[in-house]
A and B are shown apart, each in its own frame.
Chain A
């Protein structure tokens, strides 16, 4: 039943995406340009990667507001180890990912073992990790990274046509989504995750290791944020403490628009990817149409509110308890 509902919903999202694309293609000059669209996906990849673990976390009725701050902190760890400690870039990158993993593990430990609501924990660590990034870097940007790292953000992985290439970060996003989908739909992880979100106490009685799984999900989220930090640093050729500012909102928005209920119980990784594309296409189309940047933000915000309300309404009508 739920499966069918979700499938239907993902289909609806896909039609919405196609319709938006068609409207922009007809109405906006220069919108339908494969080169520009592919270039654009570089910027979708970073929030998109984070949206995958966020889908799992929101499906447990949790939240992680610290994702963007972890990206900033991992980026600074990468930069400082490379520039000041003179470590090889691969070692620095490994340490940055490890920093992300530890940050996520702390979130998971505090929220599942100390039983502090994740909203409170990650609101605190959102400020904490950002502060650590600011303090370590003294708020100064770090640049002059080697080509290998820049390739992660600015490079291409395969040639698609005469002048067309698949950007590296977008390829990484597709891999992340595929892995996320397998975990959510083809393994016990997804099943147990949704059980926890549906009814945590019942899940515990069903002998699901609730606390261990939740801890692992937050730690995994930190790990992905650490990886995203590598792509982010490559994309802007700079590690900065105020990078990805406000990106947690964008990540949560993708997940919510994608049909994962904020009150938990069901999650869709493919939905989150479609949510990401819808926000991205909307923003890109409006910008191409010459809408001034402050109004674009308003439209995206409005879209988010409308979908969130629509989601709750649909769920109640179909009698899914919440």
Chain B
């Protein structure tokens, strides 16, 4: 009688422990693992932390980070939490401070919650870079940004103008109305449209919402095809919305009538590019992002990259622009049927 609840609790604990321990498959667990370098090794030690480990996007950034480490002759510890939890990041960073790494490059899950630990790292003389997402600016030395909102806007608008013509009637499909990045991109696109394509027209002043749910994105797209008879094009600007919208177009057989583009990872979009549902879409290159983050971290640790710099030489990427304390990777890549197979993320 009394043993039953205890067995249930033990079972629960086991399940929780097991579910926490699910090891996502990273791209590497060999060779350049995380065994720290030996005592007589004078290489710089750089900690690189993604928002979480085990997803395509950050696996790709790890490739770039390792390539940069090899090129620069530094040792890189690429590790992060298994869920996108900022508190786990904070505790891991605390360990990295104790390990006295020379520089830390982190993609924070929350700009405010990460700030105190980054400030402690800087007090201990560790150079701090943020990448992919920023922290409070005062807590880090530099932010490595994937690309400026302005260049995202320009790239997407040009794709649309090229595909439909300068009088296109279009709609936006976004994640949620509160998604900060997406809102900035849409604002920038509107500014660029007024300047460059004044005859283009947005058919709905509030963007359509997919709530980062692929099935919902498909549904919304199907509905829009019925509601807006004169619709020429759709911008689906999240990596979930774009494949969802593509599925909606394919089901309706409307790939030739409505021109779809947006932002997503190539692996999720290959089938739609190959069957012609959409012609072109864009995203920044995560491999280059990881590569640039390590370059910036190493240069900061060596004292070659100081506050006030206006440009930065980053290996094979060449010269990257610095706006105040933000290092910009550059323009997004445009994927089409000719180049999509060369990318794997």
A residues apposed to B, CB below 8 Å? 29-30, 33, 36, 39-40, 43, 61, 63, 65, 117, 119, 140-141, 143-144, 150, 154, 235-238, 240, 242-246, 249, 252-253, 256, 261-264, 284, 287-288, 290-295, 297-298, 300-302, 304-305, 308, 322
A238 touches B113 (CB 8 A): yes
Given the complex of chains A and B, what is the CA–CA distance between A120 and B13 in angstroms?
A: 15
List which B112-135 residues lie within 8 A (CB) of chain A: 112-113, 115-116, 120
30 contacts between A and B (CB under 8 A): A30-B98, A30-B99, A36-B94, A36-B98, A43-B94, A63-B9, A119-B9, A140-B178, A143-B112, A154-B116, A238-B113, A240-B110, A249-B13, A252-B9, A253-B13, A262-B6, A262-B9, A263-B5, A287-B95, A290-B34, A290-B35, A293-B82, A293-B92, A294-B24, A295-B23, A297-B21, A297-B82, A301-B18, A301-B20, A322-B3
Give the residue among B18, B39, B91 with the most A Cβ atoms within 10 A: B91
A36 touches B112 (CB 8 A): no
B94 touches A39 (CB 8 A): yes
* Chain B residues, CB < 8 A from A322: 2-3
Q: A242-B85, A246-B20 are in contact. Are A288 and B99 (CB under 8 A)?
A: yes
Given the complex of chains A and B, what is the CA–CA distance between A305 and B10 in angstroms?
A: 8
Q: A154-B116, A237-B116, A262-B6 are in contact. Are A305 and B23 (CB under 8 A)?
A: no
Given the complex of chains A and B, what is the CA–CA distance between A238 and B116 in angstroms?
A: 10
* Chain B residues, CB < 8 A from A39: 94, 97-98, 120
* Chain B residues, CB < 8 A from A253: 13
Our pick among B39, B82, B87, B94 for the contact of A294 (Cβ within 8 Å) is B82
* Chain A residues, CB < 8 A from B21: 294, 297-298, 301
With A140-B178, A246-B16 known, 7 other A-B pairs at CB within 8 A are: A141-B112, A240-B110, A262-B9, A287-B92, A288-B98, A293-B53, A305-B17
B94 touches A40 (CB 8 A): yes
Q: Does B79 contact A (CB under 8 A)?
A: yes
CB distance from B59 to the nearest CB of A (A): 14
Given the complex of chains A and B, what is the CA–CA distance between A175 and B79 in angstroms?
A: 35
* Chain A residues, CB < 8 A from B81: 293
CB distance from A223 to the nearest CB of B (A): 23
B residues apposed to A, CB below 8 Å? 2-3, 5-6, 8-10, 12-14, 16-18, 20-24, 29, 33-36, 39, 53-54, 77, 79-83, 85-88, 90-92, 94-95, 97-100, 110, 112-113, 115-116, 120, 178
A290 touches B36 (CB 8 A): yes
CB distance from A165 to the nearest CB of B (A): 13
CB distance from B5 to the nearest CB of A (A): 6
CB distance from B182 to the nearest CB of A (A): 16
CB distance from B14 to the nearest CB of A (A): 7
A238 touches B112 (CB 8 A): yes
Given the complex of chains A and B, what is the CA–CA distance between A298 and B24 in angstroms?
A: 13
Our pick among B12, B36, B85 for the contact of A245 (Cβ within 8 Å) is B85
* Chain B residues, CB < 8 A from A263: 2-3, 5-6
Given the complex of chains A and B, what is the CA–CA distance between A140 and B39 in angstroms?
A: 45
CB closest chain-B residue, reference A242: B85
Given the complex of chains A and B, what is the CA–CA distance between A244 and B87 in angstroms?
A: 8
* Chain A residues, CB < 8 A from B34: 290-292
B100 touches A143 (CB 8 A): no
CB closest chain-B residue, reference A138: B178
B110 touches A117 (CB 8 A): no
Q: A119-B5, A237-B112, A263-B2 are in contact. Are A290 and B53 (CB under 8 A)?
A: no
CB distance from B140 to the nearest CB of A (A): 15
* Chain B residues, CB < 8 A from A293: 53, 79-82, 88, 92
* Chain B residues, CB < 8 A from A245: 83, 85, 87
Given the complex of chains A and B, what is the CA–CA distance between A143 and B34 in angstroms?
A: 34
CB closest chain-B residue, reference A261: B6
CB distance from A183 to the nearest CB of B (A): 23
B39 touches A284 (CB 8 A): no
CB closest chain-B residue, reference A118: B5
A33 touches B98 (CB 8 A): yes
* Chain A residues, CB < 8 A from B10: 262, 308
* Chain A residues, CB < 8 A from B3: 263, 322
Given the complex of chains A and B, what is the CA–CA distance between A162 and B12 in angstroms?
A: 46
Our pick among A40, A252, A297 for the contact of B13 (Cβ within 8 Å) is A252
* Chain B residues, CB < 8 A from A290: 33-36, 77
Q: A39-B94, A244-B87, A290-B36 are in contact. Are A305 and B14 (CB under 8 A)?
A: yes
Given the complex of chains A and B, what is the CA–CA distance between A322 and B92 in angstroms?
A: 40
CB distance from B120 to the nearest CB of A (A): 8
Given the complex of chains A and B, what is the CA–CA distance between A61 and B6 in angstroms?
A: 8
* Chain B residues, CB < 8 A from A40: 94, 98
CB closest chain-A residue, reference B23: A294
* Chain A residues, CB < 8 A from B22: 294
Q: A154-B116, A238-B112 are in contact. Are A304 and B13 (CB under 8 A)?
A: yes
Given the complex of chains A and B, what is the CA–CA distance between A292 and B81 in angstroms?
A: 9
A249 touches B17 (CB 8 A): yes
* Chain A residues, CB < 8 A from B91: 43
Give the residue among B81, B87, B99 with the most A Cβ atoms within 10 A: B87
Given the complex of chains A and B, what is the CA–CA distance between A43 and B20 in angstroms?
A: 19
Our pick among A30, A63, A243 for the contact of B100 (Cβ within 8 Å) is A30
Q: A117-B5, A236-B90 are in contact. Are A298 and B112 (CB under 8 A)?
A: no
* Chain B residues, CB < 8 A from A61: 2, 5-6
Given the complex of chains A and B, what is the CA–CA distance between A41 and B137 in angstroms?
A: 27
Given the complex of chains A and B, what is the CA–CA distance between A240 and B86 in angstroms?
A: 10
Given the complex of chains A and B, what is the CA–CA distance between A150 and B29 in angstroms?
A: 39
CB distance from A137 to the nearest CB of B (A): 13
Closest 5 CB pairs of A and B: A301-B17, A36-B98, A143-B112, A238-B113, A263-B6
* Chain B residues, CB < 8 A from A63: 5, 9
